[in-house]
C-alpha cells in the first residue's frame, strides 16, 4: 500500500466519494462526483440536396460556418478560406516584389 503524508490510497479514494460511509463495503467507484458536461453548441444541419456554396453561406456566412462549425460544411468553408487568404497573400507579395 502506498503512503504519502500519513494518508493511504484507500483513504484518498474513500474521501473523494459522495457519501462517506463508515464501512468500506459500501464504497464503489460509481458514486464518485463527475464533471458536468457543457451544453452542445448550435448546429444547423443542412439537407442532402443543398449545394456546397449554398451550404457554406446559409448558416450565417462562410466565416461563421468555418470558425464556429455551425453545419456540416465547416471543413469545406475552411479550405475555401485557406485558398482565399493564400490568393490575397500571394497577390500582395507579387505586388511588393514588382515595385
Q: Biggest alpha carbon distance in the chain?
A: 83
In this structure, is residue 39 part of a structural domain? no
Domain count across the chain:
2
Higher pLDDT: 23 or 96? It is: 96
Q: How far apart are CA 34 and CA 39, in angstroms?
A: 15
Per-residue pLDDT at 36: 80
- HSE value, Cβ hemisphere, 13 Å, CA-based, for 47: 2
Cα 56 vs. chain centroid, distance in angstroms? 20
Per-residue pLDDT reduced to its tens digit, 44-67: 899 999 999 999 998 889 999 999
The span from the CA of 10 to the CA of 3, in Å, is 10
Residue 5 is part of which domain span?
1-33
90 belongs to a structural domain: yes
Asked if residue 6 belongs to a domain, the reply is yes
The per-residue pLDDT for range 6-41, each reduced to its tens digit, is 655 555 555 555 555 555 556 666 767 677 888 888
**pLDDT for residue 3 is more than 70:** no
Rounded distance, CA 83 to CA 80, Å? 5
The answer to whether residue 15 sits within a structural domain is yes
- Pair (27, 63) in one structural domain: no
Same domain, residue pair 93 and 56? yes
pLDDT at 5 (0 to 100):
60
Amino acid at each position: 500500500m502506498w503512503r504519502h503524508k500519513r494518508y493511504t490510497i484507500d483513504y484518498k479514494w474513500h474521501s473523494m466519494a459522495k457519501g462517506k460511509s463508515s464501512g468500506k463495503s459500501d464504497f464503489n467507484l460509481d458514486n464518485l462526483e463527475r464533471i458536468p458536461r457543457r451544453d452542445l453548441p448550435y448546429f444547423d444541419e443542412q439537407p442532402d440536396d443543398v449545394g456546397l456554396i449554398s451550404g457554406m453561406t446559409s448558416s450565417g456566412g462562410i466565416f461563421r460556418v468555418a470558425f464556429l462549425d455551425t453545419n456540416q460544411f465547416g471543413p469545406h468553408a475552411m479550405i475555401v478560406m485557406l485558398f482565399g487568404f493564400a490568393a490575397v497573400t500571394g497577390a500582395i507579395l507579387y505586388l511588393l516584389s514588382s515595385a
